[in-house]
Amino acid sequence: MNYELVKQMCAIHSPSGSEYNMTKFLLEYINNNKKNWKTEPQLFYGEDFQDCLVLVFGKPRTAIFAHIDTIGFTVRYGNQLVCIGKPVISNGYKLIGEDKKGAIQCKLKVHSHNQPEYESKRELERGTTLTFLPEWKENNNYIQCCYLDNRLGVFNALKVAETLKDGIICFSCWEETGGGSVEYLAKFIYEKYKVKQALISDITWVTEGVSHGNGCVVSLRDSGLPRKQYVNKIVNIIKESKLPFQLEVEATGGSDANSIQHSPYPINWCFVGAPESNVHSPKERAYKKDIESMIDIYKLLMEKL
């Protein structure tokens, strides 16, 4: 499988609140490629959707949610930075961005009390957003770069879109900072299409119970609790297919699923995604076979659910 699209997306600056660069990229990509897809979707975007993007295929029963924002930093006063989401903070990480004076490349510095700061030859404009410098690495088994979370979830959705007959794909915003867009996306897909099933196309963690190379992960729970009957249905479909997958049980962590669970709409959800190591760092790492397993499982579930 060619991962050039993932590499390209990892270099797009779109921390939470500044997703518009990713939205623009996706609109251009979709409009250039949708004619080659099995079913050409309806697109919904604009002021009523902020920076979100919704694709509707045929007669949808299930929706895929993939967030398009990333973690990062906001320039405060002096050299101080405020975290966007929960990035790993370590001395020497390379940061990039842009303000009115031009392109920025600086370094992350950790001050006392774990206060992140930047080191730069000039003072940066207040409110400027910074992200990790993408440094792509790839071999026969792995890919490594910042922001595989959640560029791989977006990549998965775009690969599924190529052959999708019936379904919805929601590209959402603000996931890394607690959500906010999924609630109105849930309202849209439920009230307009009566869709009551969702899959969360996101990336999870390698832990003592989840490893590289054993397939895509189905999460039985994290900080949110999906309905057991719905998760069991998904697990049974995958088991029958003989596709490789892993089961996850975590006490912490969350995703767009939390926003669905807190919404007033009766939408079942389940987190299904490939695992990565070095989470929220510039060196996020994923196993290619796990990514391919994720794409195959999503194609199967969108057909069978």
Q: What is the pLDDT of residue 214?
A: 96
Q: What is the pLDDT of residue 113?
A: 79
Q: What is the pLDDT of residue 278?
A: 97
CB atoms within 10 A of CB 219: 24
Please say whether the beta carbons of 169 and 25 come within 8 A.
no
Please say whether the beta carbons of 187 and 267 come within 8 A.
no
> pLDDT digit of tens for each residue in the chain (305 aa)?
999 999 999 999 999 999 999 999 999 999 999 999 999 999 999 999 999 999 999 999 999 999 999 999 999 998 999 999 999 999 999 999 999 999 999 999 998 778 999 999 999 999 999 999 999 999 999 999 999 999 999 999 999 999 999 999 999 999 999 999 999 999 999 999 999 999 999 999 999 999 999 999 999 998 889 999 999 999 999 999 999 999 999 988 889 999 999 999 999 999 999 999 999 999 999 999 999 999 999 999 999 99
Q: Is 180 helix (H, G, I), strand (E, B) or coil?
A: coil
Beta bridge partners, 39, equal none
- Please state whether the predicted TM-score (pTM) of the whole model is above 0.75: yes
Q: What is the pLDDT of residue 162?
A: 98
Q: What is the pLDDT of residue 92?
A: 96
Query: CB-side exposure of 94: number of CA atoms within 13 Å?
Result: 8
Q: What is the pLDDT of residue 272?
A: 98
Map out the domains of the chain with their CATH numbers. 4-70+137-304 (3.40.630.10), 73-132 (2.40.30.40)
Instruction: Choose among 281, 275, 49, 297: nearest CA to 152.
Output: 275
| Bridge-based pairing state of the strands 62-67 and 50-57 | unpaired
Structure tokens at 128: 């400027």
Instruction: Choose among 284, 30, 79, 159: nearest CA to 22.
Output: 30
